[in-house]
Chains A and B, each alone.
Chain A
Amino acid sequence: MSIAIRHVSKRFGTFTAVDDVCLTVETGSLTALLGPSGSGKSTLLRIVAGLEAADSGEVLLAGEDATGLAPQKRDVGFVFQHYAAFKHMTVRDNIGFALAVRKRPKAEIRARVDELIQLVQLQGFAGRYPAQLSGGQRQRMALARALAARPRVLLLDEPFGALDARVRAELRDWLRRLHEEVHVTTVFVTHDQEEAMEVADRVAVLNAGRLEQTGTPAELYDAPESEFVMRFVGGAHRLGDRLVRPCDLTLRRDHDDGCVEVEVERITVLGADAKVDLADGAGGRLVARLRRDELEELDLERGEILWARPTPGTASAA
């Protein structure tokens, strides 16, 4: 089912959460809503789910106006950041809830729940209570629960935000593979640009309620349309009058036009890469990313003065 968001706005008192956003999500795609805290991405997602009402604009699901429709009628599955598990029900009853509420026959519910438990790999946990599961298991249960009634859209609100780094990485991978198996139109909200880039087909970047840019991860990285997008996706720093990405910064001991004088503040080794913190003499700070062999070649010392310029042939925005 496709989603069309047309000129949707939402305010909470004097605070504008969503400001005239237009976005289209194609059927079967996996889209990320990316942005910092307060950018309106969660609010927008909840408007699509019907958990919030937009002040103006329309939401179309499969081409039909769903703006005034209650969440029960939208055929949408929603996954919350803090799981919203029904703590008084077992895992099995949690997952089967959507079907129980639709008064499906017990045998059908049982079969579907078993199928989903296999899908999310919670075998053996069916009779447990949510409090007895780990965070990652609870979120997998929440996903299974949202999928039970075969919704046409799956919405996830910072689904991995409450989990620790290793579990987060595992579940990202897992969500991607799940999407390839189930093919439901999926939209998820995240503030982690790495997560968005790794998981989604298309990314929509939001800032202070406005939609900054939409595109594939490669498009956003290679052709950012604003300073915000360039900084937020992939990171960038000011070098003179341009913005340069850390990995597009060349450091040299000789200088020519277009070079800026910098001082080495700190050198950090990060496994196969290295990070060099630099100060540009005008109070600005930069970061350069190098490979280990490049770092060894330069043989840098703390406090050393160098010249920095953008690597020729790379993107940079003024």
Chain B
Amino acid sequence: MPAASATAGPIPARARGRPRVAPTDVLPLGFVACFLTAVVVLPIAALVWESRRQGARSFWRVVSSPEAVAALRLTLGAAVVVALVNAVLGTVTAWVLVRDEFRGKTLVNAVIDLPFALPTIVAGLTLVALYGPGSPVGVDLAFTRGAIVLALCFVTLPFVVRAVQPVLQELDTEMEEAARSLGAGQAAVFRRIVFPNLLPGILSGAALALARAVGEIGAVVLISGNLPYRTEVSSVFVMSRIESGDAAGAAAVAVVLLCVSFALLLAIGGIRLLVTRHERA
């Protein structure tokens, strides 16, 4: 067969009106999809499968068992409390970091990220050291629900602060000046101008904090004592089911936690859309 010359060959796809798909277009996407499937999607799929394997009735039996319900109630209750505490105190902290000036502010700003950097089990250990038996400040919160809230506050502290800080930073101070020139007092400026612009940041930070708090185990496992019906959170419950060999039971409750995570992710995505609604020309 004679070698095809450049001019005698078939018309290239581009000339036919279709863009040529280069390997550089498909390869990265393929890699990303395969990696994500292998690492994240398949294990989750296996989990969902297992939870349904023994049928819906068995699923409900485990999920509605008194111990599981108690654990879930405690987990969600503590998480909501922690999200609220963070929403308020996290916003205050962000405000102080952006609008206030004091010596050591850079240090304080860096320290905020400690819960992101510190292993959760170490966090749990430090909380036991300070607020557990033998505490130098004379409190003993071990085996209490208060300890759980405290531990969860530790690990979720950065979320609202870091979500609100950039919003405060970017906030156009001219809007506040305009409001003042139009007759609004300090409180009205905060209520009508600053707060509505901060709200999406506060909400998405709180949602992330909630998601983290619901799933936390490392920080809680040492100080709470894991007493069933009293201080056992859902993540600990799932672990104890696995250790007892009840994989299906563990999977059922795990799927409930999975749904909570998905719901919160959706909420965060929704908040993002809501914000850009104002900005979409």
A–B: direct contact at CB < 8 Å:
yes
- Chain B residue with the shortest CB-CB distance to A97: B182
Q: Are A131 and B174 in contact (CB under 8 A)?
A: no
Q: Which residues of B contact A76 (CB under 8 A)?
A: 181
Docked-complex contact A78 and B181, CB < 8 angstroms: yes
Q: Which of A20-28, A57-65, A81-89, A205-213 makes up part of the contact surface?
A: A81-89
Q: Which residues of chain B are within 8 angstroms of A145 by Cβ–Cβ distance?
A: 178, 182
Interface residue A51 (Cβ < 8 Å from any Cβ of B): yes
How far is B196's CA from A84's CA once the two chains are assembled, in angstroms? 15
Within 8 A of B (CB), among A73-102: 76-78, 80, 82, 84-88, 97-98, 100-102
Whether the pair B172, A88 counts as a contact (CB closer than 8 A) is no
Q: Which of B174, B175, B182, B280 contacts A98 (CB 8 A)?
A: B182
Smallest Cβ-Cβ distance to A76: which chain B residue: B181
Least Cβ distance of B276 to chain A in Å? 9
Q: Does B256 contact A (CB under 8 A)?
A: no
- The residue in B175, B182, B184, B193 that gathers the most chain A C-beta atoms within 10 A of its C-beta is B182
B196: which A residues are within 8 A, CB to CB? 88
> Which residues on the B side are within 8 Å of A244 (C-beta)?
none
Q: Does A132 lie at the interface of the complex (its beta carbon under 8 Å from any beta carbon of B)?
A: yes
Whether B178 lies near A70 (C-beta < 8 A) is no
Residues of B within 8 A of A149 (CB): 182-183
Given A86-B178, A97-B182, also A131-B278 (CB < 8 A)? yes
Interface residues of A in 92-117 (CB under 8 A from B): 97-98, 100-102
Instruction: Across the interface, name the chain B residue whose C-beta is closest to A80.
Output: B174
Given contacts A88-B197, A129-B278, A131-B281, contact A102 B183 (CB under 8 A): yes
Q: Among B181, B192, B197, B281, which residue has its beta carbon within 8 angstroms of that of A71?
A: B181
Instruction: Decide yes or no whether A49 CB sits under 8 A from chain B.
Output: yes
Across the interface, do A70 and B180 meet the contact criterion of CB distance under 8 Å? yes
Task: Give chain B residues whose Cβ lies under 8 Å from the Cβ of A88.
Answer: 196-197, 278
Judged by a CB distance under 8 angstroms, whether B188 is at the interface is yes
Residues on the A chain within 8 Å of B182, using CB: 77, 97-98, 101, 145-146, 148-149
Supposing A72-B184, A84-B172, A84-B174 touch, asked if A97 and B279 sit within 8 A by C-beta, the answer is: no
> Are the CB atoms of A101 and B188 closer together than 8 Å?
yes
Shortest CB distance B171–A (Å): 10
Number of interface residues of A (CB under 8 A): 29
Contacts known (A97-B182, A102-B183, A146-B182); A131 close to B279, Cβ less than 8 A: yes
B229-281 contacts to A, CB under 8 A, are 278-281
| Distance between A132 CB and nearest chain B CB, rounded to angstroms | 5
Asked if B119 is an interface residue, CB under 8 A from chain A, the answer is: no
**A51 with B180: CB separation less than 8 A:** yes
User: Within residues 182 to 229 of chain A, which ones have a CB less than 8 A from any CB in chain B?
Assistant: none
Instruction: Please tell me if the beta carbons of A51 and B183 are within 8 angstroms of each other in the complex.
Output: no
- Near A by CB (< 8 A), chain B positions 128-155 give none
Complex CA–CA separation, A19 to B241 (angstroms) = 78
Bound-state CA distance A262–B211 (Å) is 79
- Which of A51, A72, A82, A87 contacts B279, CB < 8 Å? A87
Tell me, rounded to whole Å, the shortest Cβ–Cβ distance linking B279 to chain A.
5
Q: Is the CB of A98 within 8 A of B279?
A: no
B181 touches A101 (CB 8 A): no
Asked whether, in the complex, the Cβ of B183 is within 8 Å of the Cβ of A86, the reply is no
Query: How long is the Cα–Cα vector from A148 to B184 in the complex, in angstroms?
Result: 14
Chain A minimum-CB-distance residue to B173: A84
Q: A87-B279, A88-B278, A101-B188 are in contact. Are A72 and B177 (CB under 8 A)?
A: no
Given the interface contacts A84-B175, A88-B196, does A49 sit within 8 Å of B280 by beta carbon?
no
Q: Is B185 in contact with chain A by the CB < 8 A criterion?
A: yes
Interface residues of A in 139-194 (CB under 8 A from B): 142, 145-146, 148-149
* A87 (CB) vs chain B CBs: closest residue: B278
B179 contacts which chain A residues (CB < 8 A)?
86, 97, 101
- Minimum CB distance partner of B176 in chain A: A84
Q: Which of B177, B178, B197, B281 has most A Cβ within 10 Å? A: B178
List chain A residues, Cβ under 8 A from B178.
Answer: 78, 80, 84, 86, 142, 145
Q: Which of A51, A72, A148 contacts B185 (CB 8 A)?
A: A72
Is the beta-carbon distance between A101 and B197 smaller than 8 angstroms? no
A84 contacts across to B, CB distance below 8 A: 172, 174-175, 177-178
**Which residues on B sit within 8 Å (CB–CB) of A86?**
175, 178-179, 193
Please determine whether B183 and A72 come into contact, CB atoms closer than 8 angstroms: yes
Highest count of chain B CB atoms <10 Å: which of A51, A77, A88, A132: A88
Residues in chain B near residue A70, CB distance under 8 A: 180
- A101 touching B184, Cβ below 8 Å: yes
Flag if A98 contacts B278 (CB, 8 Å). no
> How distant is the Cα of A85 from the Cα of B279 in the complex, in angstroms?
12
Which A residues fall within an 8 A CB radius of B? 49-51, 70-72, 76-78, 80, 82, 84-88, 97-98, 100-102, 129, 131-132, 142, 145-146, 148-149
- 30 inter-chain pairs at a CB distance below 8 angstroms, sorted by A residue, are A51-B180, A70-B180, A71-B177, A71-B181, A72-B181, A76-B181, A77-B181, A77-B182, A78-B177, A78-B181, A80-B177, A84-B172, A84-B174, A84-B175, A84-B178, A86-B175, A86-B178, A87-B197, A87-B278, A97-B179, A97-B182, A97-B184, A98-B182, A101-B179, A101-B182, A101-B183, A131-B279, A131-B281, A132-B281, A142-B178
